[in-house]
Amino acid sequence: MTNPYELAQLAANELRNISGVDSYDVAVVLGSGWKEGAVALGVPSNVIPSASLSGFVAPTVAGHSGQILSLDVAGLKVALVSGRVHLYEGNSADQVVHPVRTLIAAGARTIVLTNACGGLDPTISPGHVVVIRDHLNFTATSPLEGPPPPEGYGSRFVDLTDLYSARLRAAVHGAVAGLNEGVYLGFRGPHYETPAEIEMARAMGATLVGMSTVLEAIAARHLGAEVLGLSLVSNYAAGVASGPLNHAEVLETGQAAATSLGALLTQILPVL
């Protein structure tokens, strides 16, 4: 068994060979809704099924296989990673962060993590994008659990002060006016929360809740990359608005937001 870092190195070499891209600058992990928006970034020079790369596990969402799209945005070599996988699909933390480790091994120094999430602030309605300022990891795991990272990699006792880069957040606000910042709480899911759990999350300082992002952010920081997190509020979290949560509504919000998400990425990527 190779360790997860060697596995990422192997996948990165495969990716470079197949895509013809020597080194990436930025990797964008696309959450629900964001993939549809990302087509606005232009025509990819290359699209690779992630199943063809070592260590990548297939998403269990029907009809969605993972892909890595390579494209140039304002002179930056960008990789778009679609088909994110989650803990709730039965994956290990190492499997969840493998795409991020692979893109960093392929040169990316900036990791943009996008997601769809539930919102706790009644004044930020579904369809709005929030910049992640910090997170609360409620997955009860870490991609750094297990044997220590091999020689040449940073200590597993990684400092998460400034996990979500202040420099990148400032760059985003400089490019796009009026975006709120929030604290993202990552649960394991796949169930949505009870209203009591959302009240707990609020008391602990969360403004956004979701089931992704936190492990990838930790893994990226550990490897020295700069992390930007962008959340599309897709629904009010349980108990915030009257009425039940509904997965179809969540998907609808994503569809409706696609155009604005694409415009947002187009404005943001060149300033990172």
If the CB atoms of residues 24 and 236 are measured against ligand 8IG, the closer one turns out to be 236
| CB of residue 102 to ligand 8IG, shortest distance in Å | 25
Q: Is 142 exposed, middle or buried (0-12, 13-18, 19+ CB in 10 A)?
A: middle
Q: How far apart are CA 120 and CA 134, in angstroms?
A: 15
Would residue 116 show up in a list of annotated catalytic residues for this protein?
yes
| CB of residue 196 to ligand 8IG, shortest distance in Å | 14
If the CB atoms of residues 174 and 190 are measured against ligand 8IG, the closer one turns out to be 190
Residue 192 CB partners (closer than 8 Å, separation 6+)? 118, 237, 238, 245
Would residue 89 show up in a list of annotated catalytic residues for this protein?
yes
| Beta strand segments in 38-109, E | 46-49, 67-73, 76-82
| CB of residue 174 to ligand 8IG, shortest distance in Å | 28
The active-site residue out of 79, 93, 108, 116 is 116
Would residue 1 show up in a list of annotated catalytic residues for this protein?
no
Closest residue to bound ligand 8IG by CB? 118
The active-site residue out of 86, 98, 128, 222 is 86
Would residue 64 show up in a list of annotated catalytic residues for this protein?
yes
Q: Which amino acid is at 127?
A: G
If the CB atoms of residues 124 and 211 are measured against ligand 8IG, the closer one turns out to be 211
For residue 257, what is the DSSP state? H
Backbone φ, ψ for residue 206 (5° rounding):
-80, 145
If the CB atoms of residues 171 and 245 are measured against ligand 8IG, the closer one turns out to be 245
For ligand 8IG, the binding residues (CB under 6 A) are 116-118, 187, 189, 192-193, 209-211, 234-235, 237, 245, 250
Q: At what angle do helices 93-105 and 214-222 cross, to 10 degrees?
A: 40
Would residue 184 show up in a list of annotated catalytic residues for this protein?
no
Q: How far apart are CA 118 and CA 121, in angstroms?
A: 9
Q: How far apart are CA 128 and CA 2, in angstroms?
A: 42
| CB of residue 95 to ligand 8IG, shortest distance in Å | 19
Can you read off the two tokens belonging to residue 271?
Answer: 């300033």
Would residue 235 show up in a list of annotated catalytic residues for this protein?
yes
Give catalytic residue positions: 32, 64, 86, 88-89, 116, 211-212, 235, 247
